[in-house]
């Protein structure tokens, strides 16, 4: 180790280069975020050398910083002991941790093979800045994410995930034109441009209607595809699935044909060549990337990752095996680290996050790390105005290295919500406790009826409210389970006849849950079905194998309307899936079998419940007999629900499904889907 005690002696550089000591660290270059008279940063980069406890912030490149420190060190040594500059630079280079200054943040460049040195640099930087202003690159590198996760610092990865609204705004702002009418998506940091399949297909009608423009756009694609910018990045790439590549030979043929084609000649051969390339493009892109759909999580995430230089296959949410609606939708929060078996909270942790971490630390034991992230945007289209809807993801690692995930939801009508409505504090607390009990009653009823629902636990925290004092805050927590909610399944799934038939049966079971428990909106009376609460798990063959009800939202709201009356709303939603299968080429015969499978899934479950109700030892009927009677109470609601189950004729429900006009598909084969 070099003696650093007098490194600042006998070494000088003019102006901001002058070395100086700050908090036992040698600085060479301007201060962090120092600006010129125009407000521009004097340097946007820096380098930390932890072994030498030195930070260089001279304008230039990081390699220049290595040379500066090498010369600085050489001047401190006797002439006869000075090594060759190249030798010293090679040693120093291993110690260098590059920095980037951006948006009042310090971005530390991570090195998967040298994270100990990176974290050492982080410790030095924390002498000058709070953790909140220091972030790490490496969101796309699994080893880096893992090390940060083990430290309870997922939230310090850069770039931090954005909300869906921000991502869509970013994507729209990235659309540009180069020389023709062709629209591409531009990556500002690197200069990459991306052409989507949908935009490419805008050229096809121009081949017949505006041949010069069509040729100009095709030639622009070919030219940009072959060029690289000053950073060595291709000027234009096609938006394809990860790992896919496509040559433009067929498109070059199209351009040659159009160039040689007389103005009045038929363009049929050129169209054929164009379609040949388009088919290759579509295959390499994959079904999910054929439409520029900002509402589709797969397309949106893929495009955003390409524009940010993130490998979407290496995202933290994907590494945690989260379904697509979570991708780039989790904001990791400042939390705590486990140091020598003790929980050490970050200075920037908010009280709610601190309380949740402390809860798991107390109740689980043997935890090596706890990371909490806030779900930025709800994926549901329901009206949630006036509701408290904070949702958190918890990623924990045990001392044995086993990862576990949990979902936490704040009670949507809690004490704070009721106080905002003008309800007195004591009454608000009493009503909140009753509502909490009501939620668990609904869950208990669903379990007793044999529906595939998750087990929920309760977390209670005390939170301070200005002017009021301490009030209880309730959270419902459950284990995260893998799968995709039914209304977010990738379009590519529907191409398989086996998929739609198996899926239909599970959606029939989900419809039984909605109809039996009266799962509707208290605002509109419309059923809650196929809109985010039904999780579909796929087998290794990508065929649906299990349904999991992940929420009971709206259950027990309607306990009187006959199932036959509510059923058409479920069929409306189910029809959307049949249409996706039909658009994917699935035959009418398969769709007919799928309708029958839906009916079977629905009616079989109701018949099963009926049989259970008829068993002498069944506890279902008397589930809430210990509760007080009263109109609208859980006891009376349950009695009406049981009556609705016992009086429904499943044969009539089955006929309504297979013969219902709502399941007629347009086209020459339109008609009822027979069983």
pLDDT at 7: 41
Looking at the structure of the chain, the number of domains it has is: 4
Average pLDDT in the 96-109 region? 86
**Distance (Å) of CA 629 to CA 290, 432, 449:** 57, 20, 22
Average pLDDT in the 232-240 region? 86
Interacting residues of 329 by C-beta distance below 8 A, sequence separation 6+:
161, 163, 164, 317, 375, 376, 377, 379
Give the SS3 label for residue 290.
coil
Interacting residues of 166 by C-beta distance below 8 A, sequence separation 6+:
none
Exposed e or buried b per residue across 178-211, where buried means at least 16 C-beta atoms within 10 angstroms of its C-beta: bebebbbbbbeeeebbbbbbbbbeebeebbeeeb
Contact 241, 289 (CB under 8 A): yes
Q: Which of the listed residues 86, 118, 137 is the one where a domain comes to its end?
A: 137
Q: Which of the listed residues 437, 454, 480 is the one where a domain comes to its end?
A: 480
Average pLDDT in the 400-408 region? 88
Sign of CA dihedral 112, 116, 121, 124: positive
452 vs 510: CA distance, rounded Å: 9
- Tell me: pLDDT of 656 over 60: yes
109 and 182: one domain? no
Q: What is the overall mean pLDDT for the chain?
A: 86
613 vs 646: CA distance, rounded Å: 8
Residue 444: Cβ within 10 Å count: 13
CA torsion, ordered 248, 252, 254, 258, to nearest 10 deg: 150
- Tell me: pLDDT of 6 over 50: no
- The 3-class secondary structure across 73-124, one letter per residue, is HHCCCCHHHCCCHHHHHHHHHHHCEEEEEECCEEEECCCCCCHHHHHHHHHH
Residue 498 — pLDDT band, cuts 50, 70, 90?
very high
pLDDT digits (tens, 9 = 90+) for 375-398: 876 655 555 555 557 889 999 988
Sign of CA dihedral 346, 347, 350, 355: positive
- Tell me: pLDDT of 267 over 70: yes
pLDDT digits (tens, 9 = 90+) for 156-213: 987 654 567 778 877 887 787 877 889 999 775 455 789 999 999 999 999 989 999 9
Residue 666 — pLDDT band, cuts 50, 70, 90?
low
26 and 43: one domain? yes
Give the SS3 label for residue 480.
coil
Q: Which of the listed residues 458, 480, 502 is the one where a domain comes to its end?
A: 480
- Residue 618 resides in a domain: yes
539 vs 543: CA distance, rounded Å: 5
pLDDT digits (tens, 9 = 90+) for 71-82: 899 888 888 888
50 and 127: one domain? yes
Contact 562, 519 (CB under 8 A): no
553 vs 555: CA distance, rounded Å: 6
491 vs 499: CA distance, rounded Å: 11
- Residue 416 resides in a domain: yes
64 vs 85: CA distance, rounded Å: 13
443 and 573: one domain? no
- Tell me: pLDDT of 433 over 70: yes
Average pLDDT in the 610-615 region? 94
pLDDT at 662: 62
For strand 20-22 and strand 45-49, is the pairing parallel, antiparallel, or unpaired?
A: unpaired
> Within 13 Å of residue 190, how many CA atoms lie on the same side as its CB?
18
pLDDT at 379: 56
466 and 519: one domain? no
Peptide bond into 159 cis (omega under 30): yes
183 vs 298: CA distance, rounded Å: 21
pLDDT at 378: 63
Average pLDDT in the 659-673 region? 55
Average pLDDT in the 437-449 region? 94
Average pLDDT in the 502-530 region? 95
pLDDT at 667: 44
430 and 573: one domain? no
> Within 13 Å of residue 438, how many CA atoms lie on the same side as its CB?
19
- Residue 133 resides in a domain: yes
Residue 546 dihedral angles phi and psi, to the nearest 5°: -155, 145
Q: Name the helix (H) or strand (E) containing 329.
A: none
CA 279, 284, 289 angle in degrees (round to 5)? 95
- Residue 264 resides in a domain: yes
Average pLDDT in the 613-620 region? 90
Residue 514 — pLDDT band, cuts 50, 70, 90?
very high
Interacting residues of 333 by C-beta distance below 8 A, sequence separation 6+:
155, 349, 350, 353, 372, 373, 374
Of 267 and 290, the one with more pLDDT: 290
- Residue 630 resides in a domain: yes
Contact 490, 241 (CB under 8 A): no
pLDDT digits (tens, 9 = 90+) for 461-482: 998 888 888 899 999 999 988 8
Query: Considering the entire predicted model, what is its pTM?
Result: 0.66
250 and 301: one domain? yes
- Tell me: pLDDT of 68 over 70: yes
Average pLDDT in the 513-518 region? 96
172 and 297: one domain? yes
C-alpha closest to that of 297 among 489, 535, 503: 489
- Tell me: pLDDT of 99 over 70: yes
Exposed e or buried b per residue across 288-304, where buried means at least 16 C-beta atoms within 10 angstroms of its C-beta: bbbebeeebbbbbbbbb
521 and 652: one domain? yes
Of 14 and 311, the one with more pLDDT: 311
Contact 388, 417 (CB under 8 A): yes
- Residue 385 resides in a domain: no
pLDDT digits (tens, 9 = 90+) for 30-40: 999 999 888 88
Which range marks the domain in which residue 38 is found? 15-137
455 and 503: one domain? no
pLDDT at 319: 55
- Residue 378 resides in a domain: no
pLDDT at 618: 87
250 vs 268: CA distance, rounded Å: 15
74 and 207: one domain? no
DSSP state of 629: P
- Residue 239 resides in a domain: yes
Contact 598, 507 (CB under 8 A): yes
528 and 557: one domain? yes
pLDDT at 668: 38
pLDDT digits (tens, 9 = 90+) for 45-55: 889 999 999 99
261 vs 269: CA distance, rounded Å: 10
Residue 9 — pLDDT band, cuts 50, 70, 90?
very low
């Amino acid at each position: 180790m070099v003696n650093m005690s007098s490194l600042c002696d006998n070494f000088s550089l003019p102006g901001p280069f002058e070395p100086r000591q700050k908090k036992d660290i040698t600085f060479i270059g301007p201060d962090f975020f120092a600006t010129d008279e125009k407000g521009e940063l004097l340097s946007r980069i820096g380098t930390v050398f932890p072994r030498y406890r030195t930070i260089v912030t001279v304008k230039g490149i990081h390699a220049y910083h290595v040379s500066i420190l090498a010369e600085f060190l050489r001047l401190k040594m006797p002439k006869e002991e000075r090594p060759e500059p190249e030798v010293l630079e090679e040693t120093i280079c291993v110690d260098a941790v590059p920095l980037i200054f951006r948006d009042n943040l310090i971005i530390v460049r991570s090195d998967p093979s040298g994270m100990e040195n990176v974290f050492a640099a982080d410790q030095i930087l924390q002498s000058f800045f709070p953790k909140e202003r220091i972030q790490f690159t490496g969101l796309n590198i699994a080893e880096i994410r893992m090390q940060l996760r083990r430290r309870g610092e997922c939230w310090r990865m850069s770039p931090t995930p954005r909300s869906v609204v921000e991502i869509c705004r970013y994507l729209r702002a990235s659309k540009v034109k180069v020389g023709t009418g062709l629209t591409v998506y531009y990556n500002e940091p690197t200069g990459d441009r991306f052409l989507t399949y949908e935009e490419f297909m805008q050229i096809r009608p121009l081949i017949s209607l505006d041949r010069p423009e069509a040729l100009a756009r095709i030639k622009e694609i070919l030219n940009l595809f072959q060029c690289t910018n000053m950073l060595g990045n291709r000027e234009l790439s096609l938006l394809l699935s990860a790992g896919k590549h496509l040559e433009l030979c067929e498109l070059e043929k199209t351009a040659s044909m159009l160039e040689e084609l007389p103005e009045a000649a038929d363009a049929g051969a050129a169209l054929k060549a164009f379609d040949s390339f388009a088919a290759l493009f579509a295959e390499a892109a994959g079904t999910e990337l054929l439409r520029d759909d900002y509402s589709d999580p797969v397309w949106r995430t893929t495009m955003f990752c390409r524009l940010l230089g993130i490998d979407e296959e290496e995202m933290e949410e994907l590494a945690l095996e989260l379904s697509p609606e979570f991708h780039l939708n989790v904001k990791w929060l400042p939390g705590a680290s486990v140091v020598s078996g003790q929980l050490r909270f970050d200075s920037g942790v908010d009280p709610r996050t601190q309380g949740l971490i402390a809860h798991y630390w107390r109740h689980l034991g043997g935890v090596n790390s706890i990371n909490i992230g806030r779900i930025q945007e709800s994926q549901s289209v329901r009206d949630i105005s006036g509701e408290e809807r904070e949702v958190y993801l918890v990623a924990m690692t045990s001392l044995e290295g086993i990862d576990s995930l949990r979902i936490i939801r704040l009670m949507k009508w809690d004490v704070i919500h009721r106080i905002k409505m003008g309800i007195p504090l004591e009454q608000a607390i009493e009503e909140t406790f009753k509502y909490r009990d009501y939620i668990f009653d609904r869950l208990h009823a669903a379990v007793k009826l044999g529906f595939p629902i998750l087990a929920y636990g309760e977390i209670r925290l005390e939170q301070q409210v200005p002017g009021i004092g301490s009030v209880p805050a309730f959270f419902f927590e459950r284990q995260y389970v893998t799968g995709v909610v039914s209304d977010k399944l990738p379009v590519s799934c529907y191409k398989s006849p086996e998929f739609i038939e198996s899926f239909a049966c599970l959606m029939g079971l989900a419809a039984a849950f909605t109809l039996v428990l009266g799962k509707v909106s208290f605002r509109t009376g419309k059923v809650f079905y196929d809109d985010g609460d039904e999780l579909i798990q796929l087998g290794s063959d990508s065929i649906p194998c299990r349904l999991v009800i992940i929420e009971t939202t709206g259950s027990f709201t309607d306990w009187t309307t006959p199932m036959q009356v509510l059923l058409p709303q479920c069929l409306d939603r189910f029809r959307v899936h049949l249409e996706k299968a039909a658009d994917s080429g699935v035959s009418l015969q398969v769709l007919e079998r799928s309708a029958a499978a839906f009916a079977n899934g629905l009616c079989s479950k109701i018949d099963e419940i009926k049989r259970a109700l008829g068993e002498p030892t069944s506890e279902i009927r008397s589930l809430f007999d210990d509760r007080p009677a009263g109109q609208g109470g859980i006891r009376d609601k349950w009695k009406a629900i049981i009556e609705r189950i016992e009086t429904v004729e499943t044969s009539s429900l089955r006929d309504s499904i297979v013969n219902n006009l709502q399941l007629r598909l347009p086209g020459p084969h339109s008609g009822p889907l027979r069983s």
